[in-house]
Amino acid sequence: MMEKEPFSEILKPLFSLGGIAGVAVIREGGVVFNSLPYQEAQSKVLMNEVAALFQGYRTAGRSIGYIVFHWDDLTLVLHGAGTVEYVVALHQAVVLNAVIGMLPGLDDAFARTLREIDVSKRQVMRIRLIPWAASLRTLEGALSKVVSDSQAKKMIERKLVLEKIDVDRPALQATVERFAMGVFANIGHKTKQKLLLSEFDAYLKTLN
Amino acid sequence: MRTEEMSYRRFEVHAGQLSAPLDQDGLVSLRAEIEYLTFYATAIAKSIGRRREACSSILAAENQQLVSREGNISGELKGLLIPGGMDAKAALDLVARRDD
């Protein structure tokens, strides 16, 4: 997974040093930011090699500060002592010390932002969208136990029109649940209503 | 601190024999470290379409100690052990001075 924002904001001071060809940030083997001037396939291999290099040091119980590979026109700085690992490509080795000095200071901001993203992802996962078709079939099947099939179908269709529901668009679980309760409310018998509702709830639980 | 004022130790390997002012354990560790870094230098260079032989320096920092080497060598290892206190750019410049 790759996200430009908000990581590019964190990396702004680094880029402002000048002479930076690109930066990649890796967490637990996954790339969270990549602006290196290489094709995607090349970057992927590079990231894998860097992750393996740092993993080797960790396995040996060592925390390496930074590693530099220097070519005439390119310097790669690898830093892996914090929450994330960095690969910084430099056009000009003259900014090398400034880059090395700055990277550890960015770690807190990365850790905080990654935590926030993890939390928001979990929240998104809780908001599930449910397709109407399967829910309406289950609803109709439950209703058919207390009214005729054609009656069940009509009750549902009436409610769909009344609520102006587009059955081709998946809905929130709460919306589907509220719709079912509305349909069951047409059943005069309270005990039967409760039974139908618990049957429908059981179906909804199978979706989680 | 200026580069000229720093003390460092040069090591070289010829025909499999490593010579450096280190004890045997230190030499074994150093050699393993260099081979490890060289292996990844080769892999990383390949991944970005560069020749590893053109990678003139590899530098690794841990506990304020720098291990640096000249990479433009085939079949032998050369490098410098540089004490903490020297910055990375100065270490690269020092390694680049082949006649030092």
d(CA A164, CA B19): 84
CA–CA separation, A161 and B74 (whole Å): 79
Contact A49 B49 (CB under 8 A): no
This prediction has a pTM of: 0.64
Q: Which amino acid is at A97?
A: N
- Find residue B60's DSSP bridge partners: A67, B67
Chain B residue with Cα closest to A93: B89
| Distance between CA atoms of residues B48 and A149, nearest Å | 66
List Cβ<8 Å contacts ≥24 apart for A191-199. A192/A146, A196/A142, A196/A143, A196/A145, A196/A146, A199/A142
Which of B48, B55, B59 lies at the smallest CB-CB distance from A42?
Answer: B48
Residue A136, pLDDT > 90, answer: yes
Per-residue pLDDT at A8 exceeds 70 = yes
Q: In this model, does residue A46 exceed pLDDT 70?
A: yes
User: Which A positions 81-100 lie with beta carbon below 8 A of chain B?
Assistant: 93-94, 96-97, 100
Residue pLDDT, tens place only, A154-179:
999 999 998 888 888 888 777 888 89
How confident is the prediction for chain A on average, in pLDDT? 85
To the nearest whole percent, how much of chain A has pLDDT over 70? 92
Q: Tokens 């506990």 — which residue?
A: B63
Residue A43 distance to chain B (closest CA, Å): 7
Report whether B3 contacts B93 (CB < 8 A): yes
User: What pLDDT, on the 0 to 100 scale, is given for residue B99?
Assistant: 46
Chain A / chain B CB contacts < 8 angstroms: 72
**Residue A130: beta bridge partners?**
A171
pLDDT in tens, chain B (100 residues): 344 444 556 655 444 444 555 666 766 677 777 778 888 888 999 999 888 777 777 888 775 566 666 544 444 556 666 666 678 888 788 777 654 4
- Of the candidate ranges A26-35, A75-84, A142-151, B84-93, the one whose mean pLDDT is the lowest: B84-93
pLDDT in tens, A75-92: 999 998 777 899 999 998
Across the range A128-147, mean pLDDT stands at: 88
Q: Which amino acid is at A131?
A: P
Burial class for A142, CB neighbours closer than 10 Å (0-12, 13-18, 19+): buried
- High-pLDDT (> 90) share of chain A, %: 30
In this structure, which long-range contacts are made by residues A54-58, counting pairs with CB atoms below 8 Å and at least 24 apart in sequence? A54/A78, A54/A80, A54/A85, A56/B36
